[in-house]
Amino acid sequence: MTTRQKDYLQATKTALGANTWDELAEMAGVAPRALKTYRMPEGSGDYRTMPRPMQKVFEMLLAEHKKNKVK
């Protein structure tokens, strides 16, 4: 991921139209607490790198959203 993880997640939340972080977590099937650790500043002790399978989930959600928008 070339974009900072925090920025990527913010852009994903906006693109998918999620009103809250909890809503985005539900869309992705991840615990809200886990999503919060992915959004932390990289220097934070609570920061966690998002696992590749989780990145794939967001990529799939974005692709599906884009596909549905085109219809």
The residue range of the domain holding 10 is 4-70
| Tally of domains within the chain | 1
Specify the pTM: 0.87
**CA distances to 5, 44, 64, 68 from 59, in Å:** 13, 25, 9, 14
Alpha carbons within 13 angstroms on the beta-carbon side of residue 18 total 19
Q: Which of 61, 49, 59 is nearest to 23 (CA)?
A: 61
Query: How much of the chain, in percent, has pLDDT values that exceed 70?
Result: 94
The predicted-structure confidence for 18-36, as pLDDT tens digits, reads as follows 999 999 999 999 999 999 9
